[in-house]
Each structure stands twice: as structure tokens, then as C-alpha cells.
Structure 1
Amino acid sequence: MLLAFLAAFAVSALPYASSQVCSGGVMNQTYIDSLINDINTRRAALMKGEQENGTTNKKLPKGKNINKIAWSCDLELAAIKAVDGKCVTQAPNTPSGNTGFFASYDDPDYYDTLIMLSIWTSQIEAHSFPDTAIGQDSVKYDNDQLRNYANLVRGTTTSFGCVEMKCKDQNKFTSYCLTNQPELQKNEVVYEVGNGACTQDNDCSGGATCDTASGLCVPASTTTTAGSATTTTLATTTTTTTTTTTTTTAGGVLPNPGAGENTRCPQNSGMTDALRNQFLNMHNYRRQVTEHIAELAKGNIAKKNGNLLPKGANMARLRYNCGLEAAAAQFVQQCPTAISPESSRSGQGENFFRRNGIPDFTNAANRAVTSWWKVVRQENGIGMQVTFRQHHVSTPIVSFTQMGWAKTRKIGCAIARCSSDYVVACRYEPRGNQVDQVVYAKGNPCTACDQGAWCTEGALCTLS
């Protein structure tokens, strides 16, 4: 009765209430698929021995008995109850036997749980398990900077559920997620070391079956009835609906608006609003800083040598541009294998990504933006004067410097599926990476904004 009241109370603030999967819940199937696929992609990389251990240039050992996680209606409802049907600014008390993941920000138009999940799991790209935690039989928890990542990929975890609330009248966003395992303590096992991806049911223990597509084990207790079951399993869902309905032009397959709304740039038929928001938000998150996300504007980005880059005084908030998207779409439909010639995009910057082994368009967008940004921690590059020099041209650091180029104001992106690969490109105006110019002005955040700009909570200069 209480849960029903909370759900009814929160309808105006909770997204997706008209198409919820769980009775009394608020999340729709497409969004659930995206969240679950993101986690299982990380878990599969761990199982297969493909996950790099932070910036150590080493990979974590292959796993065994790592479960394929499924959505839990019970956990979704518990998350709704924990936030009391409201946008809250303080993390609620975590229910006994669970691990909680919390985010709260102003400006609900620019935040969603999918991006929060990306940030939580991306901890492994900047931090590492110490050698003492990596044994022949298991990898153990021994680094609090990996708290979110380690708990989300924990091998014995089977269920995950969230609530997301956007309260526009309060200008607030809240995301709260739970797993069905208590929070890891020091020296507890994150996952067992083994021979890697399962290929048959005998490779999984405890009555679990092998999902050969992901190489993960599906627990015997996982059910398959979404509407009434306690747990919604996505064992047969390896891609989101964006990969089942497509538009093909010149070889590349674009996400079709039939798989999602296309109101932002209706003249561009091969893109969805959800993907547009994902690209835009992931860029602005990294350019800004909030209480929970320390990024470029406030001087919290570390270089490869561990030194923090200076604070940024004039970092502009990016706006999405339909024309740049159209140009990027025309390019990726050709299924290119490298960045486009600069002469073909006068005045536009570009970042490029192509990979296989990615389950869907949403994951491709996530992987692309993450790969462009993380080079700052992996490559020798920009100095403390944050000036782009001739020797930076055509080096890996250019993807980071373009993403962090303060005077860039517009972005537009596109994705195409080319056979088993996903090809991603983002275009930027004004372009960055101009030789002998600064990437951004050094100084306290928002102290060098253009006239008429106001400063966001995340320290970005914003023009109306």
C-alpha cells in the first residue's frame, strides 16, 4: 500500500511512468535494457580477461562464475521507497543486504542514470586493483576509489534496480540504484579467477546456465516474466531495440527513430533524442565539475604523470547542433576506418571511434566518448600551460583536447553499424586543436566567461 502511494505521488517527477515494466515501478524496458547491458558489458570484459587494470597497462585476470546481472522489480521499488518519492539531495540509508549508488544534481535536463552508471563503472579507467589484491584464485577489494566499479561487477551479484527522478519544478535530478549484495569490505572477493568466458553450462556452478553470447553465467533463480516476476531477466536481450529497426544508407546502418523519439532534430532521420542527450551530457559532464564529479573546469583532471591540470576559467557549456549531426551522419554512413580529412569539414573539429564487440548503439556512444577522454591519463600530451602545440597534431591526445576545448560551443554526433563494427563521429564548432592556442584559459572557474554568460553549478560558462 505504501509503495503504491509513493509511486502515485511521484508520477509527475518520475520518468517513463506510462510504460513501466514493474508493477508500481517507473522504468521502461528500453531504459532498463540500456542500463543492464552497460553493466553486463563491463562484467563480460572482466570474465574474458579484456578489462585493463586502470593505467597499469596490464589486464585483470580472466574470471569464472561471473553472473549475468538482471533487473529486479523488488530493488526498483525499494529504491523508490528509499527516496520517499521525491528528488533528494542526500543519499538515503541503504537497505540491509544491498549496495546503494546515489547521484543528485541541479538541472534535470542534463542528467540521467545511464550517464551516472557510465561514471560509476569508469572508475576502473583511472584507478587500479593493487597487485596484492590479485591472486591466483580471486581478485579482492582493496581500493576505495573502485567502490562503485567493484560492487557493480562483483561476480556473485545477480540483480540491479534503480529509480530516476527529474523534478523540473525544483530543478533537481536524483538517481538511486541498488544491487542485491551488501557492500564489499576490504579483502572480500570481487570475482573468482578462472579460464574466462563460459562456453557450456558445466562452466557455471550452482545450477547456473551459460549465456554463450556474453560468456556470463545466468543464475538458476532468475525468472523471465517481466510484468509480474520479482526479477526481470534480460538473458535473451543482447541488444537494445535500437538495433532491431534501422535505416541503411551508403553501407552504414543508423539508429532508426522508431526505436526512440526524434523531436530534437526531426529533419535528421537516423538518430534518436536519447542518443543525442547521451553524447551531449557525457561531454558536458567531463568539461564541468559538481560536488560528486570532479572534472576539467575545477582542475581535477590528472595527466599520465599524476599531476593535475590547471583549473579552467572559460569552459563553455556545449549545445547540441543538428547541422553538425547531419554532417557526422553523412560521414559515418560511409563506414570509414579513420578520422575524416580536415579539408572535408571546414571549420569543424572531429572525434572518431570504430570498434567491434559492442552490443548496441547506446554502448557504442558510451565507449566512444569514454575512449576520447581517457587518453589524458594514458598518453604523454598537453603540458601545464595547456597549450596545443605542433607536436600534438596527429597524436592520441587530440581527442581529449578537442573535447576540452573551451571555446567550442556546438556539438553534433552520429553512429552507424557497419557489419560487426560500430562507427562513431562527433563534430564540433568552433573547432579545437588549433596550434599555439590554449585549450582553455587558466584560472578559477567562470572568471573569464564571455559577456552575458552565466555560470552553471558545474562551473561551465553558459549563454542563453
Structure 2
Amino acid sequence: MEKASLIPETSRSSLASGHEPNKDGSMAPPATNMEKMVYDCSVEASAQRSANTCTGQLSDPSTRPGLKENPNNIYDMSLSPEEAAEQAMSKWWGQLARNGVPSNMLFSSAVRHRQPPNTVTRFTKMAWHNNVRLGCAVKKCSGFYFVVCQYGPGGNVVGENIYNIGATCSNCPSGTTCDATVGLCGAGGAASGAPPASGGETSAPGATTSAPATNTCPSNAGVSESLRQTYLKKHNDLRSSLAKGNGEQKNGAKGPAPPASNMEKMKYDCSVEASALKHAKTCDGELSPESSRPGLKENIIKINDMSLNENAAASKAMDKWWEELAKSGVGQDMKFTDAIRHRTTNIVTHWSKMAWHNNNKLGCALQRCSGFYFAVCQYGPGGNDVGGYIYNVAAVCSACPAGTTCDSATALCG
């Protein structure tokens, strides 16, 4: 379940590198000793036993010696099990930004005994520096998904630190080394172990994919590296799926969207991000003036679910924009007509900016406003040109622009 697997390790990497927001608006400090998680099938088996009960509650600690647990009930049954797991982990991790922890990262008795809705103990289990063993499961119960993750050795020890503060990865435990690309300590700096593939709906693998710990755009305070990677990866993954024309992307009632001969790979652009960030910080929920972003076009949306962490909120924003194709559709020739441009219902203009063949510059931001997230992405050169084509319909990757070559694995030109 790849989407779910992105959250724990990517977020731990971002936290260890000092890129995760605390409640007070500052970033949580970097960690000297944050270890990589390794997926553990015996822990998964324990989590599965708990999930199978469908109680919606913490399991008895005596049933899971040496492990601590996060449970969550997800009531949106339209989600896949993977999406339910992702939403649960987003809610747990989001406790940091919603409720905050002390800047010294001390897990005090006061922190331990906070009452809802101000608790942070689910976040702290995910973030505890030496919680290296992870196993998760999802059970489809009557009217809800029951998501369970268990952690070893467990963490949440009163009087200890969630992690030690200092230069990222500067004090790795004995037997581990620093993987500078992710800011995490691991055995030989190797990637975390992954669980065996599962065809069932109840397994929810974790902690196998990491985001770079480096700060791509250091002058743009307010956008974490994890958030950048979320925006860029999802845009390119969706463009790739569309360009392949293999039936994964539906064009309204017309059936599968056709393949693209000239779909370019997006690259993240710090100057575009700076423009998007400037507008996101206004929290006005409206498109920015075109004059403020020459050579760029923009997608915006308000995400009202404040229980989501920033990566999940950004992902939801992109889902909302992209789903316009399946809901409303365009001509199978992919021509961007005046009628499409001026639709007042069944609009597709957010999707078309994401999908425009030569929109190869991307910059995005996400601002926590009063009662909502404000997501902003800007694209260059912009697309949505009346009379032009969203992309050329022909054999996959068969007409890549000059200076680019076809990546046959993704069907993108780069």
C-alpha cells in the first residue's frame, strides 16, 4: 500500500531535519538521533489481531508486550483500505501542528495526561526516536475501517525526550550510521526493510519510502521539504498515469483518456514556489491577480479538514483538482476549446493546468489559516490556452520536445 507507506518515514525524515511545524508557528527542532523504522511482520500480526476485533479501541497492553499502539476509526467507507490507513496516520501526525509539544521535546507527565482534543500521544509514538519496529493493519468493520499501528519498543516514556535536539543525525545510536539523504539513523545507512507484498485488504505496510532531508528552497521559509516532495511526486505520478493511456484515467463518460505523445516531466521551481507561498499566506481563498504572477497560472483550494497533516491536505487538494477529468471530461482529442474554458459547471480547468503537456515548472505552498488550509500551486508556462491542446494524442512519448528524451517507465519526456 504505497500511499500509506509514505507517511511515517517521510514525516520522520522531515521532522528530524527541522521541517515540521509545531503549534506555535515555529518549526520543531531537528533531531540528532532519529532512527529509521523497519517494517516487522510479527508486529503486523499483532496489529492485525487488534484490528480484527473491530472494537475501535486500544487493545489490552498485555496482548502486545513490548509494543505500544495507535488505533483510529475511519468512517468514510468510500476510501480504499490504503487511503483509510493514510488518513489515520495523517490524523495522528497532525497532532504536532494542531496541539504542539514542548520545544525541548520532553515527554512530561503533563504532556502524557493531556485530555482530548489537545492530546499528542499518537504523534509521539510515530515520532519517538528509537521506535524502529512498525507493523500496521486495517480491518473493514461494520460502518468503519479500524486502522491499527503498533510500535516497538513503544516510546512515550515520561521523563524522556521524544528525540534529542541538535544537528540532524549527529548522534546516531551505536550500530547505526547517518543516512544524510533522509536525516535518519539506520543500519549502515541502508533503506528500511519492507513487508512482503499482500493481496489482502487488511495489511497496511509502513515506513519504506523517504523524502530528501535537504532543503531544496532554503530561502522559502514555510514550505517543508516533505511537502515539496508530496506536491511534485503526485503531479508527476498523475501525469504519468494519464500519458500512458492504459485506462487508469477516465475521461468523463467517454471512457479511458487517450495516451500522450508529448507529456513533459515537471520540475520543482523555487521561484514559482515563492510566488505560490506569497499568495498562500494571504489566506484569502481566492485566485491571486494575474499581474502578480507573470508567466504562471494557478490552482487554489480551501481544505476544511484541519485534522489532516500538511502532506495529506496537499494530497487532498490535488485529488480534488485532478478528479475533474473523471467527473466532467473533455473531448477525446484533448483540445482546449473556448467552451471548455468558460464552463460554469463541470469545470476541468484545474485538472487541465495539472495535465497541460508543457507545464514543466511547478511550485506550491500550503498555509494553515483560520479553520482551513489554503493550498496553492502555480505552473509555468501555464497552459489552458484556448485553441491549444492539453496534450497531443498519439503513441506514448513519441513526440518528445527538442532537448528532452522519453522515460519509457513513466511515459514522460524529460
What TM-score comes out, normalization by structure 2 length? 0.54
User: Is 1:335 matched up with 2:335?
Assistant: no
After the TM superposition, which residues 61-460 of structure 1 pair with which residues of structure 2 at under 5 Å, given as runs?
Answer: 76-78=38-40, 146=80, 148-149=82-83, 179-180=136-137, 190-193=140-143, 229=153, 263-289=215-241, 295-299=242-246, 300-305=248-253, 307-359=255-307, 360-378=309-327, 380-393=328-341, 395=343, 396-456=347-407, 457-460=409-412
Whether contact under 8 Å (2:297, 2:383) holds in the other structure is yes
- Give, in whole Å, the separation in 2 of the partners of 1:150 and 1:355: 18
- Give 1:392 shift: 1.8
- Give, in whole Å, the separation in 2 of the partners of 1:151 and 1:426: 26
- Give, in whole Å, the separation in 1 of the partners of 2:245 and 2:403: 21
- Give, in whole Å, the separation in 2 of the partners of 1:426 and 1:336: 15
Give the unaligned 5+ runs of structure 2: 1-5, 20-34, 50-74, 89-121, 127-133, 158-211
**Alignment CA distance shift 1:178-1:152 (3 Å):** farther
- Give 1:315 shift: 0.3
1:147-198: per-residue Cα shift (whole Å, max 9, x none)? Answer: 64578889xxxx9x99xxxxxxxxxxxxxx96346xx7xxxxx23239xxxx
**Alignment CA distance shift 1:98-1:443 (3 Å):** farther
Whether contact under 8 Å (1:262, 1:272) holds in the other structure is no
- Give 1:95 shift: 7.2
Task: Give the SS at the match of 1:305.
Answer: helix
The structure in which a higher percent of residues are strand is 1
**Alignment CA distance shift 1:297-1:432 (3 Å):** farther
After the TM superposition, which residues 31-42 of structure 1 pair with which residues of structure 2 at under 5 Å, given as runs?
Answer: none
Task: Give the SS at the match of 2:262.
Answer: coil
Whether contact under 8 Å (1:298, 1:459) holds in the other structure is no
Aligned residue pairs total 267
- Give 1:229 shift: 3.7
- Give, in whole Å, the separation in 1 of the partners of 2:400 and 2:391: 11
Between 1 and 2, higher relative CO (CA 8 Å, sep ≥ 6) is seen in 2
Task: Give the SS at the match of 1:441.
Answer: coil
1:206-238: per-residue Cα shift (whole Å, max 9, x none)? Answer: xxxxxxxxxx9999xx98xx6x545989xxxxx
Whether contact under 8 Å (1:316, 1:407) holds in the other structure is yes
Task: Give the SS at the match of 1:437.
Answer: coil
1:51-100: per-residue Cα shift (whole Å, max 9, x none)? Answer: xxxxxxxxxxxxxxxxxxxxxx9x94425x99xxxxxxxxxxx979969x
Whether contact under 8 Å (1:280, 1:320) holds in the other structure is yes
Q: What residue is the counterpart of 2:413 in the other structure?
A: 461
Q: What residue is the counterpart of 2:107 in the other structure?
A: none
Whether contact under 8 Å (2:14, 2:213) holds in the other structure is no
- Give, in whole Å, the separation in 2 of the partners of 1:386 and 1:431: 16
- Give 1:406 shift: 0.5
Amino acid at match of 1:415: L
Tell which deviates more after alignment, 350-359 or 260-269: 260-269
**Alignment CA distance shift 1:317-1:279 (3 Å):** same
Amino acid at match of 2:384: N
Whether contact under 8 Å (1:296, 1:404) holds in the other structure is no
- Give, in whole Å, the separation in 2 of the partners of 1:312 and 1:278: 24
Amino acid at match of 1:269: A
Task: Give the SS at the match of 1:193.
Answer: coil
- Give, in whole Å, the separation in 2 of the partners of 1:331 and 1:316: 26
Task: Give the SS at the match of 1:286.
Answer: helix
Amino acid at match of 1:413: C
